[in-house]
Amino acid sequence: MRLIEVNCALCGSAERVLDFMLNEHSIVRCLKCGFKYVSPRPEEAAVLRAYSQESIGDELSFAHEYAGNGDVDGNYSWTGAYVLKRLFRRVPGGSFLDIGAGQGWAVCEALKSGMDAWGYEFGDQRAFESDPRLRDRIFNTQAQLADTGKKFDVIYSSAVLEHVYDPLAFLHQWRPFLNPGGFFCVAAVPNVDSIFIRLKVDGWDGNIPFHHLNYFCPRTLADLIRRADYEMVDMFTMGAPISASIRNIFIQDRFKSGYWGDNALRWRLAGKSHMTLARSKNNRLLALATAASNHLIKMTGMGANIYATFMDPDPRQALNR
């Protein structure tokens, strides 16, 4: 597999230093702005192909982990539901686009709340095609979406920013689809400065090269949003990684080995965990325990994932419509 060196996606600087090794690949730190990212890495076309079914059998492929024929509700997460409710309150009954919609759980939640909800997913679309709530509500190219002329009050993108080749270009390219006064939310962005990584109990939850290319902390994510000419509305960290375990201290060096790798068992365990949370909505005791633990983690400011909501700073008068 051909690997290439890349400059910092935030500031463009070529000055970098090795920060740590992860899954036998280099995570470098930009000496100018501090952003951490994977370099060297495969070319962008190879990374994009790795998420498609056509990549199965290739040296680089993530297609099995992102197969779209699972139970939509299996993607439930307490923190995801919490963030979506906050967004829906900002623009009740508005329009909603989920970028990287996966199996469509967030789109379903938005529809249930009365939003005019749509999804964008360039990868496996079987869940959208088979679920009557989602059928005909997915776009698989940006050009297809642009042809409709649709714009959205909320653009939501969960667990995506860490995967994209150029995160600054990503934030720029979706701006034309945001309504004046609308909100853009990047959710579940892994936090490289989380308390779980600091304590060495995070098994990295698939957060490894070349599956993930960008390693944000709250400061560098805020810097990205500022450089993309958006205005921050809200940012916090929340949640614990599924793989957090005291035993990780004893079985894994913090920044080495393929402990997660592409381990299908871990993905199945993650799915079971999500279903447990989904059922907890009908179990008041478990739901309260889940909420309490998430809010305690949120109070530390060093949760496993970062959640940021921002907007175009120009049409501020639209906020009070």
Structure tokens at 5: 């060196």
Residues 11-30 pLDDT 10s: 999 999 999 988 789 999 99
Q: What average pLDDT does this structure show over 171-200?
A: 95
Closest by CA position to 308, among listed 250, 252, 243, 231 = 231
Structure confidence at residue 140 (pLDDT): 87
Structure confidence at residue 264 (pLDDT): 43
Tell me the pLDDT of the chain averaged across its residues.
86
Residues, the chain: 321
Q: Which DSSP state fits 91? A: S
pLDDT at 66 over 50: yes
Strands 95-99 and 152-158: parallel
Q: What average pLDDT does this structure show over 282-294?
A: 77
Which uninterrupted H or E stretch holds 96? strand 95-99
Cis status of the peptide bond prior to 210, with omega within 30 of 0: yes
Which domains does the chain possess? 68-320 (3.40.50.150)
Structure confidence at residue 289 (pLDDT): 80
Structure confidence at residue 62 (pLDDT): 84
61 pLDDT band, cuts 50/70/90, is confident
> Worst-scoring range by mean pLDDT, 116-125, 154-163, 254-263, 289-298?
254-263
Residues 196-222 pLDDT 10s: 999 888 878 778 889 899 999 999 999
